[in-house]
Amino acid sequence: MYLRDRIPLRDDRRLIDLAASQFKVHPSVIEKRLAKATGVTVLEDGGVVVGYICYRIRDKALFVDLVVLDTTYKGKGIVSGFSNAFFEQAKRKGVEVIQGLVEKNNQYALAVFRHLGFSVKRAFLFTLLIEKRL
């Protein structure tokens, strides 16, 4: 498995399908997120896209819009390895803090992010703002 930057013409159909099916949203929602992204880091396994992180960078802060992993790869420690490589990549871009929103009822995602060193910075009605300093 390895990380690489998104190649829109090659990757977007797979990225959209992965996220739309997992988040139960219309594909146009994911298309809009991808269009607004500063970057998308893709995780490939044997030439197949199995996950990605979609994000925006402003100043020294990176805001994660989407973290998507093919369900057949969940629970195998892949997110930890993928994330550590992503954090190093972000540091090289001058990022000092990574933030994102997690739905309050998504205990699995919250546990994964806490395991990766994120903490809850603020609670909103349905979401939690999480943060990790690099």
Whether residue 17 is predicted with pLDDT greater than 90 in this model: the reply is yes
* Upper half-sphere CA count for residue 96 (Cβ side, 13 Å): 3
Q: Does domain 2-133 have CATH number 3.40.630.30?
A: yes
DSSP 29-81: HHHHHHHH-SEEEEEEETTEEEEEEEEEEETTEEEEEEEEE-GGGTTSSHHHH
pLDDT digits (tens, 9 = 90+) for 34-90: 999 999 999 999 999 999 999 999 999 999 999 999 999 888 878 877 888 899 999
| pTM exceeds 0.85 for this model | yes
